[in-house]
Amino acid sequence: MIATPFTPIASLLGGALIGLAAVLLMWARGRIAGVSGIAARLLPPYEDREFAGRLAFIAGLIAVPVLVRLATGSLPAQTIAAGTPVLIVAGLLTGFGSVWGSGCTSGHGVCGLSRLSVRSLVATITFMAAGMATVFVMRHWS
Amino acid sequence: MAILIQFAIGLIFGLGLIVSGMSNPAKVLNFLDVGGIPAGTWDASLAFVMAGAVAVTFIGFNRVLKLARPFFAERFYVPTRTDIDARIVAGPAIFGIGWGLAGFCPGPALTALGFGSASAFIFVAAMFAGMVLARFIAQLPSSARFVTPADPLET
What is the 3 state secondary structure string of B80-131?
Answer: CCCCCCCHHHHHHHHHHHHHHHHCCCHHHHHHHHCCCCHHHHHHHHHHHHHH
Task: Report the 10 Å Cβ neighbour count for B62.
Answer: 12
Region of A116 (left: φ > 0; alpha: ψ -120 to 50; beta: rest) is left
Residue B24 and residue B20: Cα distance in Å, rounded?
9
Q: What is the reported pLDDT for A31?
A: 96
Residues of A in contact with B116 (CB under 8 A): 65
Boundary residue ending a domain (B18, B43, B78): B78
pLDDT band at A1 (very low <50, low <70, confident <90, very high): confident
* pLDDT tens digit sequence for A103-140: 999 999 999 999 999 999 999 999 999 999 999 999 99
- Is residue A3 included in any domain, yes or no? no
- Please give the residue range of the domain that contains residue A34: 8-140
Q: What is the reported pLDDT for A89?
A: 98
Question: Is the pLDDT score of A9 beyond 80?
Answer: yes
Question: Is the pLDDT score of B8 beyond 80?
Answer: yes
Subunit contact B10:A1, Cβ cutoff 8 A: no
Boundary residue ending a domain (B32, B48, B78): B78
- Please give the residue range of the domain that contains residue B140: 83-155
Q: Rounded to 5 degrees, what are φ and ψ at B30?
A: -70, -25
- Is residue A14 included in any domain, yes or no? yes
Boundary residue ending a domain (B24, B57, B78): B78
Tally of domains in chain A:
1
Higher-confidence residue: B138 or B53? B53
**B144–chain A Cβ distance below 8 A for any pair:** no
Task: Report the 10 Å Cβ neighbour count for A40.
Answer: 24
**B3–chain A Cβ distance below 8 A for any pair:** yes
- Is residue A2 included in any domain, yes or no? no
Residues of B in contact with A19 (CB under 8 A): 16, 52-57, 60
Residue A121 and residue A50: Cα distance in Å, rounded?
27
**B133–chain A Cβ distance below 8 A for any pair:** yes
Is the same domain home to B52 and B27? Answer: yes
Nearest Cα to Cα of residue B127 among A134, A77, A46, A90: A90
- Is residue A1 included in any domain, yes or no? no
- Is residue A132 included in any domain, yes or no? yes
Is the same domain home to B111 and B95? Answer: yes
Within A30-110, residue ranges assigned H as helices are: 35-40, 51-72, 84-100
Whole-number Cα distances in Å, A68 to A7, A75, B13, B55, B90: 19, 7, 13, 26, 37
Q: What's chain A's average pLDDT? A: 96
Is the same domain home to B92 and B65? Answer: no
Q: What is the reported pLDDT for B141?
A: 78
* pLDDT tens digit sequence for A55-72: 999 999 999 999 999 999
Residue B99 and residue A78: Cα distance in Å, rounded?
16
- Is residue A124 included in any domain, yes or no? yes
Subunit contact A95:B126, Cβ cutoff 8 A: yes
Q: What is the reported pLDDT for A10?
A: 97
Question: Is the pLDDT score of A88 beyond 70?
Answer: yes
* pLDDT tens digit sequence for B101-121: 999 999 999 999 999 999 999
Tally of domains in chain B:
2
Question: Is the pLDDT score of A73 beyond 60?
Answer: yes
Is the same domain home to B87 and B74? Answer: no
Is the same domain home to B69 and B11? Answer: yes
Is the same domain home to B88 and B74? Answer: no
pLDDT band at B149 (very low <50, low <70, confident <90, very high): very low
Is the same domain home to B69 and B18? Answer: yes
Q: Rounded mean pLDDT of B137-141? A: 86
- Name which of A57-61, A138-142, B11-15, B60-64 the model is least confident about: A138-142
Tell me the shortest Cα–Cα distance from B142 to chain A, in angstroms: 16
Is the same domain home to B150 and B95? Answer: yes
Nearest C-alpha in A relative to B153? A102
- The answer to whether the CB of A94 falls within 8 A of the CB of B93 is no
Is the same domain home to B100 and B39? Answer: no
Is the same domain home to B2 and B58? Answer: yes
- Is residue A116 included in any domain, yes or no? yes
* pLDDT tens digit sequence for A12-56: 999 999 999 999 999 999 999 999 999 999 998 898 889 999 999
Q: What is the reported pLDDT for B65?
A: 96
Q: What is the reported pLDDT for B153?
A: 63
